Amino acid sequence: MQPENEALHEIGGMIRQARLKAALTQEQVAERAGISRPRYREIEKGTAAARATTLTNVARALGLEMILVPQAMLPAIHSLMRPHEDEDLPAFAPLPDGGL
pLDDT tens figures, 37-85? 999 999 999 999 999 999 999 999 999 999 888 999 988 888 887 766 6
User: Which domains does the chain carry?
Assistant: 3-61 (1.10.260.40), 69-100 (no CATH)
Count the Cβ atoms, other than its own, within 10 Å of residue 65. Answer: 8
Give the model's pLDDT for residue 77.
Answer: 84
15 three-class SS = helix
pLDDT, tens digit (0-9, with 9 covering 90-100), for 85-96: 666 666 556 666
Instruction: Give the predicted TM-score (pTM) of the model.
Output: 0.73
